[in-house]
Amino acid sequence: MATRHEFKTEVRQLLQLMINSLYSNRDIFLRELVANAADAIDKARLESLTDPAQARDWKIRIEADKNLKTLSISDNGIGMTEQEVLDNIGTIAQSGTRAFMKMLEEKGTKGEDLPELIGQFGVGFYSAFMAASEVTVVTKKSGSDAPAVLWRSQGEGEFEIDTAEREEPGTTVTLKLKEDAEIYLEHWKVSSIIRKYSDFISYPIVMPKVTVNEDKTETVTDEVLNSQKAIWLRKPSEVTEDEYKSFYSGLSNYGGTEYLKAIHMSAEGTSEFKALLFLPKQAPFNLLMPDIQKKGLQLYVTRVFITDECKDLLPDYLRFVCGVVDSSDLPLNVSREILQDNPIIGRIEKAVTARIITELKKLLENDREHYEAFFTEFGRILKEGLHTDFTNGEKLKDVVMYQSMNHEPGKFITLGEYVDAMPEGQNEIFYITGEKRAALDSYPGLEYFKAKGWDVLFMTDPVDDWIMQSMMQYRKHNFKSIAKGDFEDKESEEAMKKAGETYKELTEFIKETLSGQLAEVRFSARMTDSPCCLIVEGNALSPHIERLFKAMHQQIPETKRILELNPKHPLIEKLNAALQAGKKDEAASAAKVMFAQALITEGSPLDDPAGFAKSVTELLVKSL
């Protein structure tokens, strides 16, 4: 008996969009349905490895009926039970659907980029409604005695479920084509779409073709539309740009057909495998969303699909890479449990990682512009490897890039370039971490380095602080934060010591005035133009990381800053003079303003901004 069901809200909204938008490329609905059919066969084929009775002549079949104006896509794959039909295409809003709608709401789209986005979120089935006014699914679960299930919908809020006649396991999706979509009844049209998007699908995609004989009778033959050649087994020189693009668009969870580089691997010896890997061009807007973070690579064993999310084939910090690995060493009936901590997988991961790093280095050397663009998108992820990959850490240091004080905003330099440019007398690699370039540029602690002509690396990713904990050296030069720990400068040592003695009373007075807010007040030659700056202890968290944690409502110990004073600045002298003249109140209020300014330049919020504004106003009134 037929039952009616309502779509979940998100699904209904999605369908509305599919039905009502105008598309630049609506051909992709066929790619999506064929991909689903191939996935279903992959699954059935995997089961048949342990249950040979289930093996059959795997095939995807496309039929067009010009009288009924229907196009159907059939597979003899795994099929669905009634519950699975309900879960997968209807009542349950899949997380992908929800994420997709949320993204549309936030970003807004006129529909042109919709086809690109559909694949990205795993909502492909619904794209059938771009071309169909009604979609019917008849499906029978492989290996089950339950009757076949029918699902039908016009995409308008409701769908119908019923039992159906079907003997062979698998699924048929039938589209009643919209009037303006009747082109999809044409053999040439279907076959050109399949060649474009689904040529590498490893099962035959057949479509009956009618040929008119000399005696005017007609012969119908099944024509295979795709070459089925696994693209990763072919020679790179034989693969066209378009083939790479369509393969990439099917693989990538970032959407789009644009990739930066395709990498073929063919490994022999201790582990034998072939791989085709892609460096993506653009990071998805949700790069940092946890569920999209790591998908892993597709794994095949001697051309048989095993899983499309083998996470152990890539280290976390290369999670933006997508592609296929085809191993000859693993057993065919490998299970997911076997894959975990598998030494063969481990060896492949090692080889793949080394190769990707080599390719990144080549790209950096030969195509700087593209590498910088790549690094802007994915550098923050790649850098994680500096902290986590002990084997390749040194090699990764060669390919990471940073902005720096001596280079204009937006320009990246490598550590190698930094070291090469170090003048006589500079032995360490200086850096500072912070939120953004603009704030770092005006940090008073840079002044000394500017005067010396020593460059300072600007590290503005939140992960940088964490990474720098384990970055000890590059080419035998130590890394040193210019906003942390002691400042060492032989030439000024004597002068600072003297300043400490001369202004002893002043430093104590400032410390007292700002009681509780400072760990120490001292003199240093870090600054040339500014009166003071704030520093943290060598192993303390940077102020911006502290702020980040606070923003996430995380409890962390607050580190008290060290206030360093510039003895050559007139303000210090004037403060001291005021103190000596007994004008304690004036000196205290000036010290408070000076400290507040140091907090502002470091990017930290003030505890009492109104109090600060009031003091500044008073000073202005006095000075005018």
- From the list 72-80, 209-217, 294-302, 352-360, the region that binds ligand ADP by CB under 6 A is 72-80
- From the list 121-129, 301-309, 510-518, 535-543, the region that binds ligand ADP by CB under 6 A is 121-129
Cβ count near 490 (within 10 Å): 6
Residues 235-264 that bind ligand ADP (CB under 6 A): none
- From the list 18-26, 122-130, 174-182, 357-365, the region that binds ligand ADP by CB under 6 A is 122-130
User: Cβ 137 to ligand ADP, closest distance in Å?
Assistant: 8
User: Cβ 444 to ligand ADP, closest distance in Å?
Assistant: 53
- List the x/- string, 191-230, binding to ligand ADP by CB under 6 A: ----------------------------------------
544, 603 contact by CB (below 8 A): yes
Among 23, 58, 125, 375, binds ligand ADP (CB under 6 A): 125
Closest by alpha carbon to 161, among 143, 138, 144? 138
User: Cβ 190 to ligand ADP, closest distance in Å?
Assistant: 17
AA letter at 384: E
CA 537 centroid distance within chain: 33
DSSP secondary structure, 34-77, as one string: HHHHHHHHHHHHHHHHH-GGG-----EEEEEETTTTEEEEEE-S
Q: What is the DSSP letter of 24?
A: S
348, 334 contact by CB (below 8 A): no
Residue closer to ligand ADP, measured from CB, 295 or 561? 295
Residues 314-373 that bind ligand ADP (CB under 6 A): none
E strands within 119-232?
132-140, 148-153, 158-164, 170-177, 205-212, 218-224
E strands within 104-147?
132-140
User: Cβ 368 to ligand ADP, closest distance in Å?
Assistant: 37
Residue closer to ligand ADP, measured from CB, 128 or 467? 128
Size of site (CB under 6 A) for ligand ADP: 17
Among 15, 37, 310, 468, binds ligand ADP (CB under 6 A): 37
Among 90, 115, 124, 280, binds ligand ADP (CB under 6 A): 124
- Which residues neighbour 162 within 8 Å (Cβ) at sequence distance 6 or greater? 1, 2, 3, 149, 150, 152
Residue closer to ligand ADP, measured from CB, 64 or 541? 64
Among 111, 122, 204, 611, binds ligand ADP (CB under 6 A): 122
Rule CB under 6 A: is residue 75 a binding residue for ligand ADP?
A: yes
- From the list 124-132, 146-154, 223-231, 605-613, the region that binds ligand ADP by CB under 6 A is 124-132
Closest by alpha carbon to 94, among 118, 130, 129? 118
326, 232 contact by CB (below 8 A): yes
Round to whole Å and give the CA distance between 83 and 541. 52
Rule CB under 6 A: is residue 78 a binding residue for ligand ADP?
A: yes
Residue closer to ligand ADP, measured from CB, 79 or 256? 79
Closest by alpha carbon to 201, among 431, 31, 404? 31
In the complex, which residue's CB is closest to ligand ADP?
122
User: Cβ 108 to ligand ADP, closest distance in Å?
Assistant: 22
Residue closer to ligand ADP, measured from CB, 128 or 405? 128
Backbone angles phi, psi at 203, to 5 degrees: -120, 150
User: Cβ 602 to ligand ADP, closest distance in Å?
Assistant: 47
AA letter at 582: G
User: Cβ 122 to ligand ADP, closest distance in Å?
Assistant: 3
Round to whole Å and give the CA distance between 320 and 288. 11
Round to whole Å and give the CA distance between 404 and 406. 6
- From the list 120-128, 280-288, 350-358, 374-382, the region that binds ligand ADP by CB under 6 A is 120-128
Backbone angles phi, psi at 614, to 5 degrees: -65, -45
- Which residues neighbour 436 within 8 Å (Cβ) at sequence distance 6 or greater? 460
SS3 163: strand
Residue closer to ligand ADP, measured from CB, 79 or 284? 79
Among 89, 206, 267, 318, binds ligand ADP (CB under 6 A): 89
Round to whole Å and give the CA distance between 560 and 506. 20
Closest by alpha carbon to 489, among 445, 520, 530? 445
Among 76, 136, 171, 404, binds ligand ADP (CB under 6 A): 171
User: Cβ 208 to ligand ADP, closest distance in Å?
Assistant: 20
Residue closer to ligand ADP, measured from CB, 173 or 534? 173
Q: How far apart are the first and last CA of the chain?
A: 90
Q: What element of type H or E holds 565?
A: strand 561-565
Q: What element of type H or E holds 192?
A: helix 187-197
Among 7, 27, 36, 496, binds ligand ADP (CB under 6 A): 36
- From the list 29-37, 147-155, 422-430, 513-521, the region that binds ligand ADP by CB under 6 A is 29-37
By the criterion CB under 6 A, which residues form the site for ligand ADP? 32, 36-37, 40, 75, 77-80, 88-89, 122-126, 171
